[in-house]
Amino acid sequence: MNPLQLKKISVPIVLSGGLLWSTAAFSQGLLTDVVDTLGSTLAAGFNMVAAPFEAIGKKIFETALPVLKTPVAGAVKMLTDTAQVLPPVRTFADNNPVKDANTRYPVIFVHSLTGSEKFVGELPYWFDMAREIRMHRTSTPGDKSSTTASSIPNPYFSNNTENKGIYEANVSGFNTDEERGEQLLAQIKEVMIREGATRVNLIGHSQGGTTSRYVAAIRPDLVASITTISTPHWGSDFADFIVQQKTDYPKTAAQVMPLVDYGIGMLWMKLVGAKELPQDPAAAISLLTSAKAKEWNKRYPSAGLGDVKLCTTGKASADVDYVDARGVKQVAMQRYYSIIGESNKPPRTDNVFGLMKSGLGALSNQVFKGVPILNNFDFALEDTSLGVLDAKAFLDPTTVALELTGSIVAQRVMAARKADIGSGGGAPDPKFAINDGMVSVCSAKFGKVVAQAPWNHFDEVNQMAGIVGMNAPDPRVMILDQVRQLAKDNL
């Protein structure tokens, strides 16, 4: 074939390929616009019809929620009571514990986004974890005092007469770390009065970690250590995904988001958590994006932070300068730890199931390419916390959900890594894709990494109701070991 013949063949092929690519790109953009227009039209129609009844509708909704709380709480209590007696899941890690978890300072657990000290007043966020630790501790001064007798009464904090120096904070389920942090700071002062303590240890799950970091930054003298559990220190790619939908479908978001924010806020104030706590879902989700997290880290820097692009962690401790109430410069030493869930990993290819899953993932990427929202799913990740015929896959509905959200996280992380490397840099390292369904391992690294295991984002706090995967270590043992570590470190 001579060059002229080759040119006659190649030019049409290139032109056809370019035309197909342009058509596909245009179709994808057009499809997005169509979906956005359709969604916003439907939402606007609903809002128009509902507008005359908005005030009375909100009143009925807000009145109904407290009424619903009793039956919902009853159902949750039944679930909790049942879980308490299911062997071997509910057996203690150590039924004859040595008192080896007596820390120098009280320990306060801080829940994440969507959390509450107890859901509808019945299901503890840190399911059975605090109880396990208390078995390994002796009584503290706080067990003989009362929150009502303190000079800083706090209506948000539970009054448990058997705390033994272990407390579970209750902050807004949806809000900024500044707002949540100020609530936590008030509760820290409450604990210090009860216990006669000068500092506290903070253990935060997910956003609870950044909330703890806020307090440690503004009052380093009060915080001896921070332990973060799968905290998105550098943001969550799933939060990026949620916010991207608002960008891709701005017309629909403008119609829908005010209603969503109101609905979630009311649910948490009147049904799930403490009614006194303010809720701001939009601000909370925005703060967890990669861009906002980067800005937040500049405002509240920490030596415990590493380099997310290199997947490294930071320092295990640091001396933090501050000015005390007398205006005198002081130095406070803080310790930093992290515990990380890594349930979602690329599937093994040494068995038929892994190969099938990899093939399904590759096929789904092609089938859903160009389809809004669905093209973000990559089903090639594997939940390594599950064993063969694991009951968790059937009993806990969050298992499948977190595997799907983890696929979104992995795909977005790998796309960002590929963009950083460039076209000539080869394929990004698969380790960057590993996550717990919400937060990548690299974003969760902070200070000394004391545990990294196949937990998903709910397994890490022993949810739901203590049901964890067969391949996942007992999270109660994990958190007990960390409190033991704090005791060994004289904290």
378, 457, 459, 474: the catalytic one is 457
CA-CA distance, 142 to 40, in Å (whole number)? 54
Task: Give which of 343, 376, 289 is closest to 458, Cα–Cα.
Answer: 343
Name the catalytic one among 36, 177, 383, 436.
436
Q: Using the structure block, give the residue that is written with the tokens 């994440």.
A: 112
Gap between the Cα atoms of 287 and 212, Å rounded: 15
CB neighbourhood size of 445 (10 A): 25
Residue 436 among the catalytic residues: yes
206 is catalytic: yes
Counted residue by residue, the chain has a size of 491
CA distance 435 to 402: 10
* Separation of alpha carbons 416 and 76, rounded Å: 40
Please say if 457 is a catalytic residue.
Answer: yes
Question: Residues near 46 by Cβ (< 8 Å), separated by ≥ 6?
Answer: none
Alpha-carbon distance of 381 to 263, in angstroms, equals 33
Cβ 462 vs Cβ 207: under 8 Å: no
Tokens of 9: 């063949």
**Set 40, 116, 172, 206: catalytic member:** 206
Q: Are 157 and 251 in contact (CB under 8 A)?
A: no
With beta carbons less than 8 A apart as the criterion, state whether 210 and 444 touch.
no
- How far is residue 8's CA from residue 398's CA, in Å, rounded to a whole number? 57
Residues taking part in catalysis = 206, 436, 457
